[in-house]
Amino acid sequence: MSWLYNIIKFFLWLPFLLFTRRRVIGKENIPSQGGLLVVANHINLPDVPLLVASLNRGLIFMVKKELFQPPFSFLGYLIGKFGNFPVHRGHFDRKALRQAKEILTDNLALVIFPEGMRSRNGRLQRAFPGPALIAFHSGALILPVGITGTEKIKGGGWIVTRPRITVNIGVPFHLPSISGKLTRTETTEYTEIIMKHIATLLPIEYQGYYAPRRD
């Protein structure tokens, strides 16, 4: 991690220290080196700085392309300086997938929110297949992370109430290997595997679409 990244990480960590009751579980599960695909649920905008402040790896984010377009072009320029790059959500973005594979091949840590957007109700939504495709084509180790409590960071009152926020880091895993091309059915199965790993790190009320089915 560069000195500038560490300085920014400190200033992102400080508000969570002062104004929340943050708890990080499973930090020992984070590999210290090697390509790592970090997948997490997405509740609120602070999830991004929260992950930067909580994981002891330099993180690169796959970000929605809108942040690189007017009126956010300058913000896109700044976040792009740290390797973060845009993705066209809801479409097969070949360029973004290629960039993701290169990052993982370079033994860096890439963060993706498989749901593609913030969950309006805090519960897991049905995920896009992007992370499964990236993991399959790169063979990268996957690190699941469950985030709870950031939905309480809104308005100004949270600074006083200091909401409880938890970052639950699971055990890293690889997807099962298959020979040949990845079929649509297998892509769906891989996506389910990834999301269920995230779901197990969340309380039942956050699991949403990936909560255990009741017959």
pLDDT digits over 167-210, tens only?
Answer: 999 999 999 988 778 899 999 999 999 999 999 999 999 999 99
Residue 205 token pair: 């009320």
What pLDDT was estimated at residue 90? Answer: 66
The answer to the question of residue 126 being in a domain is: yes
**Residues pairing with 164 in the sheet:** 21
What pLDDT was estimated at residue 2? Answer: 79
The answer to the question of residue 21 being in a domain is: no
The answer to the question of residue 22 being in a domain is: no
* Rg of the chain over all Cα atoms, to the nearest angstrom: 17
**Residues pairing with 85 in the sheet:** 62
Which position has the higher pLDDT, 215 or 146? 146
The answer to the question of residue 51 being in a domain is: yes
Average pLDDT over residues 20-29: 98
Residue 35 has pLDDT above 70, yes or no: yes
What pLDDT was estimated at residue 215? Answer: 57
Residue 57 token pair: 């790896």
% of the chain with per-residue pLDDT over 70: 95
The answer to the question of residue 18 being in a domain is: no
The answer to the question of residue 68 being in a domain is: yes
Q: Is residue 169 packed enough to be buried (19+ CB in 10 Å), middle (13-18) or exposed (0-12)?
A: buried
Quote the number of domains for the chain: 1
> Rounded to whole angstroms, how far apart are CA atoms 95 and 181?
19
The answer to the question of residue 17 being in a domain is: no
- Please measure the distance between the N-terminal and C-terminal CA atoms of the chain and give it in whole angstroms: 48
> Rounded to whole angstroms, how far apart are CA atoms 72 and 203?
35
For 202, the domain range is 3-12+27-210
pLDDT digits over 128-179, tens only?
Answer: 999 999 999 999 999 999 999 999 999 889 999 999 999 999 999 999 988 7
